[in-house]
């Protein structure tokens, strides 16, 4: 007979890391290493254990809401399950969620699981224990993208992977090679090259970029799980990316490209090298991350959508974001004020520019 019990963890554990990496629902964002990246958040792990070991877990980041006594808890891509489809574990995790919420004075716990939207059993189980499912994100309205491009590279040769790309994407990869573009696996000493590409991309596409310090923190915090690849032509950086490889999934975390020499197709060769590197490291899935649901119809990011689906025409649709509300009145207040804050932040960014 199984004896389930709840435990709390707030420091590195080899057992926990091994559990997350092995699970089909495990994710880099549920790891201790991602907590090091998000070092301005408090980190707790809720663990459900039975006589076989860890049965399920939920790594939670907590941050204070400015000008209030409350916090927001967020579990990116959690929870994680040992056995696929073991959603009865959710009911057992509920008491731990409530205890952690009370301890952290949280008004809400947000989760965005690595579970497809077709899994009605999971969605039903989440609602049964008190989570509310947010409306579908057609673009990037949620914290994590609900719709992502994921390329299956398990048990495939490089030739088979390349052949799976759309013909135009294959052509552009080879075109970059013919033009002498070289995709280089770089160390942290090349962060300035990548950051300059990020600045150019942010200015071109009109979004606020991460600081160089943050990008360095990703690279340093993830350690062996991080990589940076930059495509050069005659020593000039054309495109670059920072990647995280954890368990069976390799993630395209941040990418950027130059405004110059775009005809050399640097981003295509950079992605191809990242896929090759992910396969070398044992990844089974290469995750390009977010795209809008109806990307072709989105004039702002249609190009990004077409670029990503050139490598993999199938889009993975996750079940989206769920909220467990501890303080309903505070939740309603934040729900009203958050859009106003985002508009103000974007306005200030434009003014600074």
Tell me the pLDDT tens digit for each residue of 31-65.
Answer: 999 999 999 999 999 999 999 999 999 999 999 99
CA distances from 259 to 26, 135, 196 (A): 37, 36, 11
Q: Is the model's pLDDT at 155 over the cut of 90?
A: yes
Query: Looking at 65-152, which runs of residues are DSSP E strands?
Result: 71-77, 80-81, 106-113, 132-133, 147-152
Cβ atoms of 304 and 288 within 8 Å: the answer is no
Question: Do 313 and 323 lie in a common domain?
Answer: no
Question: Do 43 and 157 lie in a common domain?
Answer: no
Question: Helix or strand or coil: residue 3?
Answer: coil
**Band of pLDDT at residue 333, cut at 50, 70 and 90:** confident
Q: Is the model's pLDDT at 337 over the cut of 80?
A: no
Q: Can you tell me the mean pLDDT for 166-192?
A: 97
β-bridge pairing 42-50 and 5-9: antiparallel
* pLDDT given for residue 70 in this prediction: 96
93 Cβ contact list (under 8 Å, min separation 6): 6, 46, 48, 56, 58, 79, 129
Q: Is the model's pLDDT at 342 over the cut of 90?
A: no
In a domain, 10, yes or no: yes
DSSP output for 21-60: HHSTT--GGGSHHHHHHTTTSEEEEEEEEETTEEEEEEEE
Q: Is the model's pLDDT at 302 over the cut of 70?
A: yes
Residue matched to tokens 């969620």: 97
In a domain, 328, yes or no: yes
* pLDDT given for residue 51 in this prediction: 95
Q: Where are the alpha helices (DSSP H) in the chain?
A: 14-22, 32-37, 88-103, 120-128, 158-164, 167-178, 191-205, 212-222, 266-280, 302-309, 328-352
Mean pLDDT across the chain, nearest whole number? Answer: 93
Question: Do 226 and 287 lie in a common domain?
Answer: yes
Question: Do 233 and 218 lie in a common domain?
Answer: yes
Q: Can you tell me the mean pLDDT for 326-332?
A: 94
* pLDDT given for residue 336 in this prediction: 72
Q: Is the model's pLDDT at 1 over the cut of 60?
A: no
Rounded Cα distance, 342 and 344, in Å: 5
Question: Do 23 and 42 lie in a common domain?
Answer: yes
**Looking at the 3D structure of the chain, how many domains does it have?**
2
252 Cβ contact list (under 8 Å, min separation 6): 241, 243, 271, 274, 286, 287, 288, 289
In this predicted model, which residue has the larger pLDDT, 292 or 237?
237
Rounded Cα distance, 61 and 44, in Å: 7
Question: Do 251 and 191 lie in a common domain?
Answer: yes
Domain that holds residue 251: 148-317
The CATH number covering residue 114 comes to 3.40.630.30
Question: Do 74 and 187 lie in a common domain?
Answer: no
Percent pLDDT > 90 in the chain is: 85
Question: Do 216 and 152 lie in a common domain?
Answer: yes
pLDDT digits (tens, 9 = 90+) for 193-219: 999 999 999 999 888 899 999 999 999
Tell me, rounded to whole angstroms, the distance of Cα 177 from its chain centroid: 29
Question: Do 202 and 268 lie in a common domain?
Answer: yes
């Amino acid at each position: 007979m199984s004896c389930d019990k709840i435990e709390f963890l707030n420091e590195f554990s080899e057992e926990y890391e091994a559990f997350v990496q092995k699970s089909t629902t495990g994710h880099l964002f549920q790891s201790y290493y991602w907590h090091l990246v998000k070092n301005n958040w408090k980190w707790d792990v809720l663990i459900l254990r039975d006589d076989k070991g860890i049965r399920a877990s939920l790594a939670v980041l907590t941050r204070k809401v400015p000008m209030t006594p409350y916090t927001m808890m967020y579990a990116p891509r959690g929870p994680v399950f040992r056995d696929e489809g073991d959603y009865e574990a959710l009911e057992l995790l509920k008491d731990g969620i409530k205890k952690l919420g009370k301890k952290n004075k949280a008004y809400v716990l947000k989760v965005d699981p690595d579970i497809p939207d077709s899994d009605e059993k999971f969605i039903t189980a989440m609602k049964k224990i008190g989570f509310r499912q947010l409306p579908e994100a057609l673009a990037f309205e949620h914290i994590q993208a609900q719709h992502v491009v994921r390329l299956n590279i398990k048990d495939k040769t490089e030739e088979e992977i390349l052949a799976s790309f759309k013909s135009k994407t294959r052509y552009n990869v080879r075109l970059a090679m013919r033009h002498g573009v070289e995709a280089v696996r770089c160390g942290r000493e090349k962060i300035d090259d990548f950051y300059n590409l990020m600045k150019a991309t942010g200015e071109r596409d009109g979004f606020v970029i991460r600081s160089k310090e943050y990008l360095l923190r990703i690279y340093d915090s993830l350690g062996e799980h991080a990589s940076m690849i930059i495509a050069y032509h005659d020593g000039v950086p054309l495109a670059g990316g920072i990647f995280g490889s954890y368990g069976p999934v390799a993630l395209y975390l941040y990418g950027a490209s130059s405004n110059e020499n775009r005809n050399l197709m640097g981003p295509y060769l950079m992605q191809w090298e990242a896929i090759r590197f992910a396969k070398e490291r044992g990844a089974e899935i290469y995750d390009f991350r977010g795209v809008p649901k109806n990307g072709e119809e989105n004039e702002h990011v249609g190009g990004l959508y077409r670029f990503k689906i050139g490598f993999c025409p199938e889009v993975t649709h996750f079940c989206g974001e769920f909220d467990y509300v501890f303080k309903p009145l505070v939740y309603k207040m934040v729900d009203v004020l958050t859009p106003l804050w985002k508009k103000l932040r974007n306005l200030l960014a434009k003014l600074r520019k």
